[in-house]
Amino acid sequence: MRTRLVPLFTLLFLLISSPLVAAQTPAPATPPALCVATPAAETAASPLPPPSPYQGEGSFPLVITDDLGREVRIERPPTRIVSIAPSNTEVLYALGLADRVVGVDSYSNYPPEAAEKPQVGEYIAPDLERIVAAEPDLILATAAHRETVLPELETLRLPTVVIEPLNLDEVFASIELVGEITGESARAREVVCSLQTRVNAVEAAVAGAPSTRVFFELSPDLFTTGPGSFIDDLITRAGGANIAAGVGEMWPQLSAEAVVTADPEVIILADHEAGITPEQVVARPGWQGISAVAQRRIVPIVSDLVARPGPRVVEGLEAIAAALHPDRFPEADS
Amino acid sequence: MTNALPRPISGALSPGTTQRVNATLPIIVAAASVVLAARVALTIGKAPLPPALAGDMLLSWLGLPARHWPESAETILLQIRLPRIVLAGVVGAALATAGATYQGVFRNPLADPYLLGVASGASLGAVLAFILPIPRDLLRIGVVQTFAFLGGIAAVIAVYLLGRVGGSVPTTMLLLAGVAISAAASAATAYLMYIRGDQLLVIYSWLLGGFNVASWQEVRLVTPLVLLSIAVMVLGGRVLNVLQFGEEQAATLGIPVEPVKLALIAAATLATAAAVSAGGLIGFVGLIVPHATRLLIGPDYRRLVLTTALVGASFLIVVDAAARGLPGPSDIPIGVITAAVGAPFFLVLLRQQKRAVFW
């Protein structure tokens, strides 16, 4: 009986919200909730207003403003793209631009075929020589590169765009920006639309449920994520109450006492790949009284799903939501 | 005037001998080694460049027929690799000379350029630059480099003010003040890194040191400062020799000890701060290169300072080439290689010192 309510709620929510979605992302003739691809001819016939908040003209050459406020001029759709951050690589592949990618950083491992591309060094300080050797006409960087390779790339006059989304909405905006820069706006809108649909489904599914107290463990010495951070945004949308919400910093380190006092109902382990298992958490002295430990609601999560601000964060959101409200996601596996 | 000197207290590793070496030969050899190191380093790197590219470019520049090369190869060689090699040489020279000067002024073979807190001050400056919301267009030059430079200088000024007694700066007080300021700056740096954990990776990457974003602009900024400082330190060679007898003895011989110490320390500090702002914290160069040079040409500071500068330059050029050329997804941090080379060398040094002093 309960299982039938979930799709019903979702459908109702979508029908109600589709005008709202349409207002945000001006759509072609087909309703955005169905996320149908726009044939190129239609796009040419009815020129679409550019997606907000970037003021691109939608045709080349165009000038865009990246996430560091830099104005970058793109002469023509790039055909040789180098990505020096794994999140940007995932965005490029999601937009179907695999054959235009000529260089990736050594952490770009998703999708697996991205790792086969020529490597240009590691993420924070990539190898300038190999970037130039790849002869790129576009480089996708992040804010972390601001002090490292960005000044030199600008000196060498290589078009570089910095992508640094700080929350879920900005992730969608950045996917649309990359679509605009590469001349794949329609595809980008499709991708964002389907991701937004999944996000709406999650938010609908957890709507009305009492928020679950959660401790999001980033490391065994109890580093977690605080208000204003990316992961905190996901937790809130998934219907959770981050026990670090009262702490003023973005990446606070909690004491064991603080965790025990806050008594989270769920513990999410983002350090599982570093070797931390639920059994180890249960064995921590003094932790037995915590609700999450007593009820064995300790859930490992693939850290890349929440660490990389790309299309897969929606998977991360779904995983968090399933951990926080398993009763609302009966079809999700453990 | 004879070239032979009695063995000074610090640095000599062959007790009881004096070295008569032709004055200019070591300098010529050292200079040649710099050129050779640079030439070899030009061919090392992970980007696939056409073979004999530099040769072709030279021929073409001379107007002779040569093979064509892609523009990207020229950019890599002239805009990325060459400034990096030059910067490594300049930084190596700066650190080595500063180390030799500190060893001479403090008469202590364990002195290195970071003794008076330059490293900690520069780290603090760099971290502040990373976390404060400073508009990047404010200065035409790198904000992080500027803050690191100023931080290094500020730390040593603090040490000087803390360590001086009346009109003079007793060595012991200076060293103790250096320890204190270093500790304070390190603590402040650690705290800042803690509260801004989101910048941790970037900051740590800078601190580890390296030249992977060297540019001609950086070279233009750093080289004049370093050359000026090295010139001052080279000129101080004769005085450094006399200082080895002790400050009182030097004073009775007519040397104005305090102003000279100040000038030499200031020059060494300037060179070190410039080096750290350009290359991050690279250890062991200032410690072992002076010792290695002394092993080769003896302890006479009139020759030692300039030769050390050249040997330091070729050393760091080679190390940087190794950092670039050794297999791996990215460059190995330079500090790791200098430590790998420096630590065993230093252990051997220590054993020899023990034998020399305690047998």
Higher-pLDDT residue of A3, A249: A249
Amino acid (1-letter code) at residue B221: L
Here the tokens at position A277 are 């298992």
Q: Can you give A9-60 as a three-state secondary structure string?
A: HHHHHHHHHHHHHHHHCCCCCCCHHHCCCCCHHHHHHCCCCCCCCCCCCCCC
Instruction: Of B8, B2, B95, B13, give the one whose Cα is nearest residue B294.
Output: B13
Q: Mean pLDDT over residues B301-327, rounded?
A: 93
> Residue B14 gets which letter from DSSP?
S
pLDDT of residue A57: 43
What is the DSSP annotation of A182-239? TT-HHHHHHHHHHHHHHHHHHHHHHTTSPPEEEEEESSTT-B---TTSHHHHHHHHTT
pLDDT of B182 strictly over 90: yes
B224 — phi, psi (to 5°)? -60, -45
Spell out the residues 6+ positions from residue A120 whose beta carbon is closer than 8 angstroms to its own: A82, A84, A103, A104, A105, A126, A127, A130, A131, A134
pLDDT tens profile A109-163? 999 999 999 999 888 888 899 999 999 999 999 988 887 889 889 989 999 999 9
Chain A: closest CA distance from residue B74 (Å): 10
Q: Mean pLDDT over residues A47-61, rounded?
A: 52
pLDDT of residue A31: 37
Q: Report residue B141 CA to chain centroid gap.
A: 21
Q: Mean pLDDT over residues A87-105, rounded?
A: 95
Q: Mean pLDDT over residues A49-66, rounded?
A: 64
Nearest to B202 among A128, A147, A250 (CB): A147
* A18 — pLDDT class (breaks 50, 70, 90): very low
pLDDT of B82 strictly over 80: yes
Percent residues over pLDDT 90 in chain A: 58
A289-293, B9-13, B265-269, B285-289 — which is least confidently predicted?
B9-13
> Is residue A96 within 8 Å of residue A175, measured between CB atoms?
no
CB contact under 8 A, A127 and B47: yes
Percent residues over pLDDT 70 in chain A: 81
pLDDT tens profile B334-348? 888 998 998 898 888
Torsion angle in degrees (nearest 10) through CA of B195, B197, B199, B201? 140
Q: What is the largest CA-CA distance in chain B?
A: 69
pLDDT of residue B317: 96
pLDDT of B1 strictly over 50: no
pLDDT of residue A32: 42
Residues from chain B contacting residue A121 (CB–CB below 8 Å): 46, 329-331
CA distance A185 to A52: 12
pLDDT of residue A38: 46
pLDDT of A49 strictly over 50: no
A109-123, A250-264, B134-148 — which is least confidently predicted?
B134-148
Spell out the residues 6+ positions from residue A267 whose beta carbon is closer than 8 angstroms to its own: A214, A215, A217, A281, A290, A292, A293, A297, A298, A299
pLDDT of residue B141: 65
Nearest to A106 among B72, B130, B329 (CB): B329
pLDDT of residue A4: 57
Higher-pLDDT residue of B64, A264: A264
Residue of B nearest to A224 (CA): B197
CB of B138 within 8 Å of any CB in chain A? no
* A298 — pLDDT class (breaks 50, 70, 90): very high
CB contact under 8 A, A132 and B47: yes
pLDDT of residue A29: 38
Q: What is the mean pLDDT of chain B?
A: 86
pLDDT of residue A224: 92
pLDDT of residue A332: 55
CA distance B214 to B222: 11
pLDDT of A239 strictly over 80: yes
Mutate to test the interface with B, among A68, A107, A123, A128 (most CBs of B within 10 A): A128
pLDDT of B15 strictly over 80: no
pLDDT of A86 strictly over 50: yes
Mutate to test the interface with A, among B69, B71, B75 (most CBs of A within 10 A): B75
CA distance B40 to B35: 9
Pairing of strands A71-74, A81-83: unpaired
pLDDT of residue B296: 86
pLDDT of A53 strictly over 50: no
Q: Is the dihedral angle over the CA atoms A256, A258, A264, A269 positive or is it negative?
A: negative
pLDDT of A331 strictly over 70: no
pLDDT of residue B62: 84
ipTM: 0.71
A162 — phi, psi (to 5°)? -95, 125
Percent residues over pLDDT 90 in chain B: 48
pLDDT of residue A40: 42
* B positions 235-294 inside 8 Å of A (CB): none
Q: Mean pLDDT over residues B122-143, rounded?
A: 78
- Reduced to 3 states (helix: H, G, I; strand: E, B; else coil), residue B342 is helix
A100-114, A148-162, A290-304, B342-356 — which is least confidently predicted?
B342-356
* A274 — pLDDT class (breaks 50, 70, 90): confident
Amino acid (1-letter code) at residue B259: P
Residues from chain A contacting residue B197 (CB–CB below 8 Å): 223, 249-251
Chain A: closest CA distance from residue B173 (Å): 37
Instruction: Of A228, A226, A256, give the one whose Cα is nearest residue A242.
Output: A226
